[in-house]
Amino acid sequence: MFPPEKISATLSEVFGFTTFRPNQEEIVRAILSRQNVFAIMPTGGGKSLCYQLPAHMLSGVCVVISPLISLMKDQVDAARTNGLHAAAFNSTSTLAEKSYIRDALHGNTLDLLYISPERFNSEHFLERLKTLNLSFFAIDEAHCISEWGHDFRPDYLALARITDEFPDVPIAAFTATATLRVAEDIVTRLQLKNPHLTRASFNRPNLFYQVFYKRRFDGQLLDFLDRHPNESGIVYRTSRKKVEETAAFLQSQGFSALPYHAGMTDEDRHATQEAFRRDECAIIVATIAFGMGIDKSNVRFVVHGDLPKNIEAYYQETGRAGRDGESAYCTLFYGRQDITLLAHFVNKIENKQAREVAKEQLRHMIRFAEQDECRRIGLLRYFGEVFPATRCDHCDICGGEVEREDATIAAQKLLSAVYRTGERFGATHLCDVVLGEVTDKVRQFRHDQLPTFGVGKDRPLPYWRMVINALVSQKILAVDDPKFPVLKLTENAWAILRNKQRFQMLSQQSHPKPQKSRVFDVRPENPARGSNPLSERLFQRLRELRKEIAATENLPPYVVFSDKSLREMSLKFPKDRDAFQLISGVGRHKLESYGDTFITAINEYCRDNSWSQ
Ligand code: ADP
Ligand code: ZN
C-alpha cells in the first residue's frame, strides 16, 4: 500500500533524516500495514518517530497514550516543529487548544492526539473517540501497565479495555523496559493479538562508560566538569542531604547547578525541571526522583556520585544521556562506603526472597564497577545480550584509561585457600578463611587449622571480593553451577600458584588519570567533536541562537534543533537553503521556520572570521 520510496521520502521531508535508526523501519511498516506492534527499544532509540511517521501518512488520527502531561507537551511541541498536526487533550488544555482539536478533527487533519490513560475511564470521552476516524493507538511507556515494572501506574490498567472497546483499531505499544517479565505482562494486559514484536539491542553506541574509585568526590567532580565545559548533565546522588551538599558546592564554584529531590515542593521541582529543559540551568544534582518526564535530548553526561543499587537502575539513569545520538558520558564514582551502606540496607529487607534478589543485584552492580572487562560487554550481558566483539572501544577499560596493579601475592593467598579447602566453597566462606573469621562453618570444617587461615587480615573484605571477581573474570577461578557458586581452580590458577604467571587487577590505590576530553567518533555519521576551534565557537553561537528562538516560541531549545543538528551545522557551514536542508534533523517545516535565521547567523560568523569554504 505504501511503497518504500514514499516512506523514506516522508522520513527526509518531514523529519529531515536520511536513514532510519535500527528497527524503526520494520515498526513503521508494520503499523502502516495495520498490524499490532509491541516494541522494546532503549531510551534514545527513537520510539516517537516509529508512530509519528505512520500517524502522518495514515488517514485518521493516531491517539497516543502518554503517562505525564510534561511528556505530552514535549512530544506535541516536537511534532509541531516538524509540521505535524498534533495536540494534547488533558486537564491543562486551554480553550484555544480545545478548539484547535475540534477544528482539526472536524477537518480530518489531526495526525496525533495525546491523552492521559485516565481518559480511558471516562465513558463520555470513549464514546466521543468512537465517533472519530482513528488510525491506531500508540501507547508510550507501556511498562507503566505492569505491576512488576518500576513505574507502575494504576491509571494504565484502564488500557486493558482498548482491545474490547476498539476491536478494529490497531495498537502499537512502546517501552524501554529490559525485563522479560514486564514485557510479557504488557502483551497480556493489553491483549495484543499477533503483535509484530521488536526487541532492539540495548547497546547505546554513543555513550562512553567510565568508572572511578571515589576518594574526594567534590574534587573529582570538579575535574570531570573541567573536562566538560558548557555541557548540560545530571549528577545523581543517593540521599537528599548529599544532593543538597553537592548542589551547594557546585554553586559555590560558579556552576549553574540546582538540586532536585522528593523533599522539595512540587512548584520548586517543576521550576527546576523547566530550567534544565530550557538550558537555563546546566546541571541538575538529583536523587532518583528525577527521571521520567525528562525528554531533554541534549543531556551530555550522567554522573553517579554513589554506587546505584542495581544495574537496571544504573542503565535507566545513564540512558538519559545522549538521546540525540551525539556522544555523551556515563561516569560512575563508587567507594567502599557505598558498598557497606547498600549492603546494610539490603540486609534490612525483611522478606527473605526479596533480600536475596537485592543481594544478587548488588553483587552484579559491584562486579560491573570492579571488573576488568569492557563495561559495555558486561552491561549488555546482564540484559542477556551478547556484544558482537571482544571490545567496544568506547569505555574506560577499552580506552586504556584505567590503572592496574600487580596483585599476584593476594591471588596466591586466595587460590591457595581454594585449593586447601578442597574447591568446595563459595566466595563468602573463602573470604572468611583468608580474613581469619571464626564462623560456624570455619569451625565445622576446621579451616582455622589451615596455613592460609587469616593470611589476608591486612586487607578488608571488599578487597578480597574484588580479588575474587577479578580472578573469575580472568578465568583463573571458575564457577561451575551458578545455583551453587562453588569456586574451582582452572589451569591458569596453577600458573599463578607456581609463580609462572603474574596477576593484575584494576587499581584502587591511585586515582586513574583520565585523558583529556577526547575526540571519538561514535558512528560513521557522527562528526568528530571539538576538532576545530572555529567550529566549536560556531557551535556555541548556534546554541545561543537556538536558545533565543526557543524562548520566543516558548519551547525547549532541543525541540528547535538537536545538538546533533547544531554540531553538523558548525562543521559543514551550510550557507544557503540547499545546503541547510541536507543537515540531519532539518525537514521541510524547520527549513521554513528557522532556516533563514540560522543560515544568516552562519554566514555572519564566517564573514566575521574571514573564513569561507
Ligand atoms: P526514545 O523515545 O526512544 O527515547 P526519541 O523518540 O525521543 O527516543 O528520539 C531520540 C532522538 O533521536 C530525538 O532527538 C530524535 O529526533 C532522534 N531520532 C529519531 N529517529 C532518528 C533517525 N532515524 N535519525 C536520526 N535521529 C533520529
Ligand atoms: Zn569497552
Verify whether ligand 1 is closer than 6 Å to residue 320 (CB atom). Answer: no
Verify whether ligand 1 is closer than 6 Å to residue 44 (CB atom). Answer: yes
Contact assessment for residue 59 and residue 108, using Cβ atoms and an 8 Å cutoff: yes
Residue 510 has pLDDT above 80, yes or no: no
Contact assessment for residue 311 and residue 376, using Cβ atoms and an 8 Å cutoff: no
State how far the Cα of 155 lies from the Cα of 170, in Å rounded to an integer: 21
pLDDT digits (tens, 9 = 90+) for 366-416: 989 988 889 999 999 998 899 999 999 999 999 988 888 899 999 999 999
Ligand nearest the Cα atom of residue 211: 2
Residue from 8, 14, 43, 48 to probe ligand 1 pocket by mutation (most atoms less than 8 Å from CB): 48
Verify whether ligand 1 is closer than 6 Å to residue 14 (CB atom). Answer: no
The whole-chain average pLDDT of the chain stands at: 90
pLDDT of amino acid 528: 42
Verify whether ligand 1 is closer than 6 Å to residue 47 (CB atom). Answer: yes
Residue nearest to atom 20 of ligand 1 (CA): 46
The owner of cell 567533536 is 529
Nearest CA-CA partner of 447 in 416, 409, 482, 478? 416
Verify whether ligand 1 is closer than 6 Å to residue 333 (CB atom). Answer: no
Residue nearest to atom 9 of ligand 1 (CA): 46
pLDDT digits (tens, 9 = 90+) for 92-136: 889 999 999 999 988 889 999 999 998 888 899 999 899 999 999
DSSP string covering 256-322: -EEEE-TTS-HHHHHHHHHHHHTTSS-EEEE-TTSBTB---S---EEEESS--SSHHHHHHHHTTS-
Task: State the pairing for strand pair 477-481/484-489.
Answer: antiparallel
Residue nearest to atom 2 of ligand 1 (CA): 47
State how far the Cα of 441 lies from the Cα of 444, in Å rounded to an integer: 5
How sure is the predictor about 30, in pLDDT bands with cuts at 50, 70 and 90? very high
Q: Of all atoms in ligand 1, which is nearest to the CA of residue 47?
A: 3
Query: Cell numbers at residue 375, please?
Result: 563495561
Residue from 24, 81, 323 to probe ligand 1 pocket by mutation (most atoms less than 8 Å from CB): 323
Query: Cell numbers at residue 14, please?
Result: 518531514
pLDDT digits (tens, 9 = 90+) for 43-89: 889 999 999 999 999 999 999 999 888 889 889 999 999 999 999 99
Mean per-residue pLDDT for 126-152?
A: 89
Query: Please, which residues have CB within 8 angstroms of residue 18's CB and are 6 or more apart in sequence?
Result: 11, 12, 584
Ligand nearest the Cα atom of residue 41: 1
What is the pTM for the complete model shown?
0.85
DSSP state of 332: E
State how far the Cα of 349 lies from the Cα of 356, in Å rounded to an integer: 9
Residue 518 has pLDDT above 60, yes or no: no
Verify whether ligand 1 is closer than 6 Å to residue 562 (CB atom). Answer: yes
Mean per-residue pLDDT for 442-465?
A: 93
Ligand nearest the Cα atom of residue 391: 2
How sure is the predictor about 482, in pLDDT bands with cuts at 50, 70 and 90? low
Verify whether ligand 1 is closer than 6 Å to residue 233 (CB atom). Answer: no
Task: State the pairing for strand pair 504-506/404-406.
Answer: antiparallel
